[in-house]
A and B are shown apart, each in its own frame.
Chain A
Amino acid sequence: KAGVTQTPRYLIKTRGQQVTLSCSPISGHRSVSWYQQTPGQGLQFLFEYFSETQRNKGNFPGRFSGRQFSNSRSEMNVSTLELGDSALYLCASSLGQGGNSPLHFGNGTRLTVT
């Protein structure tokens, strides 16, 4: 069974632009969540989706948004990019929403904002 797939792996954007990252969960997984990883702030929760509905959101500005499609694939969008948005963005999927459902992570998308 294929794991969580994130595309692209690397991305370079200019300040002020917008970017869309994609995540395909493990087949059968309906829950997808996103995390931002930076050297200074570590790993921080962005948001999670289940059955196309956003269930939880982290403490990030409105420039960060996401969505989930009927096939459980998810995208996250960052508008008006800032230098501080440079980070590794990780997507994780799980079979359900319960605490007993382990998260499976992808390899991440490395975003560099110049």
Chain B
Amino acid sequence: AQTVTQSQPEMSVQEAETVTLSCTYDTSESDYYLFWYKQPPSRQMILVIRQEAYKQQNATENRFSVNFQKAAKSFSLKISDSQLGDAAMYFCAYRGDQGAQKLVFGQGTRLTINP
């Protein structure tokens, strides 16, 4: 079974600084997808960024980028120029490529932005 581990329960960063959230996963599959979701107090899970395992190039979305190390099974999220609105729970998630919607989530990292 696949597992996702986020080793940082909480992180904090000064506004405008850069922060990196860590995620490791375990799988025997060769094709899969990795995601970072953000969950603010409104409770809605919002997709931040997505990475296809077959792509070597790291995904980027504006201030958000990932460092995907397939051999090491590592998938970290870097947030540049942190803003107050980035404060939320961040979840790393794994999804196999078997035509299923099942996401396996990590335990989450609570990110606080200090003004």
Contacts and interface: CB of A to CB of B under 8 A. Distances in A.
Interface of A: 31, 33, 35, 42-45, 48, 55-56, 58, 88, 90, 92, 94, 97-108, 110
Interface string B80-107: 0000000000010001111111111111
A106 B46 CA distance: 9
Given A99-B33, A99-B95, A102-B50, A90 B107 contact: no
Q: With a 10 A CB-CB cut-off, give which of B35, B37, B95, B99 has the most chain A CB atoms.
A: B99
A105 B44 contact: yes
Interface residues of B, number: 28
B43 A33 contact: no
A45 B50 contact: no
Contact of A42 (B35, B42, B107): B107
Contacts of B35: 102
Interface string B1-41: 00000000000000000000000000000011101010000
Contact of B47 (A35, A58, A88, A103): A103
Nearest to B33: A99
